[in-house]
Each structure stands twice: as C-alpha cells, then as structure tokens.
C-alpha cells in the first residue's frame, strides 16, 4: 500500500518567525507550527491541528480528511481544532483518555448533545492502553506513550513510519515499539538541551538507537538555522521543512 507524509508545519510552539524577534533565523526562515498530513492508500490523516491549520489547509488545498491523530493537548497541537468545522460530519479522532478528557474540558461545545452547525464535530476513539495497536478508519496504527512535563504524549506508527513529537522523558520500551522503523519524524527543539524537548544531538542519538534509515527533524525553534544545522547532521538525519513530502512506500 502506497503511503506518504507531508510536513504541514515544522516549527516549535512560537513558530518562525517569532513575534517581535529580528534574529537571523527569524529573518530568513519560515516555519508554521508542527503538524503533518499522512496518506495511507486512499485514507488521509491529519496529525495534530495547531493554530496554523487554516493557513496550512489553504496552502495545500486540504478539502477532505478521514481522521485526526492527536498526540497531546498543548496549545500548539490543538488550537486549530475548530477549523475542522468546514468538514462535513464528525471527524474520527484517535487520542488518549487524558487528551479526550482535556478536550471535553476546554472545548465542551464540540461535544454538546444539541447539533450546532457552525462548530467542529469529533468522533473520538480513545486508545485502550499506553502502548499497542488499534484499528482506526480501517488502518492498523501502533501507538506508544511518553511524558512531557507531566503531560502524556502519544507517538504513532504506521508500518515502517513513525511520528514522535514533543519527546523528552521516555522508557526503554519505546525502542521496542520503534524496532524496524525505517522513516522517523522526530522533534528537536534547539541546539541546547531542554527540560521538555530533545536537542539536535539528543535527537541524533535517539535516531541512532532506534536504527532508523532516515530521520526527519521537526518542531524546530528559531535557535536552529536550517543551513548551518544541516551541515553538521549525519547523512541519514535531516531537518524537515514546511511543504516537504516524503514517500513511505
């Protein structure tokens, strides 16, 4: 089955350029908040729906989605959720029970019993465990759980492709989950280490331990200059960029 992944956005929570910043990276780079479009056969899945989703959807002419894979409920991953109202019917959404509870608290109107035509609708499928596989919209999707500053985050795997964002704290079990992954999308916030994200070097070491043939880095802050950082990375690790399409086979 043919599959592909489109980077809709590769920026960190503030995006690039950062409001009010005149650094070299902000003047020369542009990154919307991290999100992606995964196509598997004829099915199209959105991974996260950040505050830039409207712009991303218009740029890439997204008019149909089969489902939403939600990693967690930090603002930069869910703030565009009400833009999904342009889609007809309730959109299937795969997420953890913690994320589901948080969405119900923060966006209660999305789950109102009364039908409201001008708001988004979600048909939520809650992950039954912290790690495993599930059927979602007819596709087998693997999932795992790790933590970011106390919030549970989910990584997803489809075949030999995996999407692991906002990772810092994790158990050794994640390497078993990722065994055999050939193409890995992985977050790396900065050159320096962070309490809540991998640095570039930490992401490289994680990729090496996974054994991925190719790793694409995302969720990048304005501390990372694309050209300068690219020269320092090993050949099998590259920085993603907005609009990059990778074929997954």
What is this structure's pTM? Answer: 0.96
* pLDDT tops 70 at residue 123: yes
Q: At 22, is the pLDDT very low, low, confident or very high (cuts 50, 70, 90)?
A: very high
Q: Does 149 have pLDDT greater than 90?
A: no
Domain ranges of the chain: 3-247
Q: Which of 111, 113, 66 lies closest to 87 in space, CA to CA?
A: 66
Of 1-15, 111-125, 140-154, minimum mean pLDDT range: 111-125
Confidence of residue 1 (pLDDT cuts 50, 70, 90): confident
Other residues' Cβ atoms within 10 Å of the Cβ of residue 164: 29
- What three-state secondary structure class fits 185? strand
pLDDT digits (tens, 9 = 90+) for 193-236: 888 999 999 999 999 999 999 999 999 999 999 999 999 999 99
Tell me the two tokens of residue 230.
């690219």
Asked if CATH classification 3.30.70.2660 holds for the domain at 3-247, the reply, yes or no, is no
The predicted pLDDT at position 213 comes to 97
pLDDT in tens, 132-144: 999 999 999 999 9
In the predicted model, what is the mean pLDDT of the chain? 95
d(CA 177, CA 175): 5
**Would you place residue 99 in the very low, low, confident or very high pLDDT band (cuts 50, 70, 90)?**
very high
CA 143 to chain centre: 13
| Mean local confidence (pLDDT), 57-75 | 97
Q: Dig out the tokens for 163 from the structure.
A: 């999407």
Percent of the chain with pLDDT over 90: 87
Give residue 10's pLDDT. Answer: 98
Which pLDDT score, from 0 to 100, does residue 114 have?
Answer: 67
Is residue 38's pLDDT more than 90? yes
pLDDT band at 117 (very low <50, low <70, confident <90, very high): low
Mean pLDDT within 109-130: 83
């Amino acid at each position: 089955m043919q599959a592909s992944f489109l980077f809709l956005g590769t920026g960190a929570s503030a995006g690039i350029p950062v409001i009010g910043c005149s650094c070299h990276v902000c003047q020369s780079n542009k990154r919307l908040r991290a999100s992606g479009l995964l196509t598997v056969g004829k099915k199209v899945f959105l991974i996260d729906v950040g505050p830039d989703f409207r712009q991303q959807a218009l740029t890439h002419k997204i008019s149909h989605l089969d489902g939403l894979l939600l990693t967690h409920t930090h603002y930069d991953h869910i703030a565009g959720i009400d833009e999904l109202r342009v889609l007809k019917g309730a959109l299937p959404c795969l997420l953890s029970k913690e994320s589901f509870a948080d969405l119900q608290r923060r966006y209660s109107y999305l789950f109102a019993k009364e039908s409201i035509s001008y708001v988004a609708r979600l048909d939520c499928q809650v992950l039954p465990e912290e790690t495993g596989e599930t059927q979602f919209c007819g596709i087998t999707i693997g999932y795992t759980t790790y933590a970011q500053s106390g919030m549970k985050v989910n990584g997803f795997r489809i075949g030999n492709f995996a999407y692991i964002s906002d990772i810092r704290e994790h158990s050794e079990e994640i390497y078993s989950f990722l065994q055999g992954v050939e193409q890995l999308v992985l977050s790396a916030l900065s050159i320096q280490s962070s309490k809540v994200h991998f640095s570039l070097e930490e992401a490289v070491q994680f990729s090496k331990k996974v054994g991925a043939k190719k790793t694409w880095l995302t969720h990048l802050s304005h501390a990372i200059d694309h050209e300068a950082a690219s020269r320092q990375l090993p050949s099998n690790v590259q920085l993603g960029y907005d609009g990059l399409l990778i074929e997954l086979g």
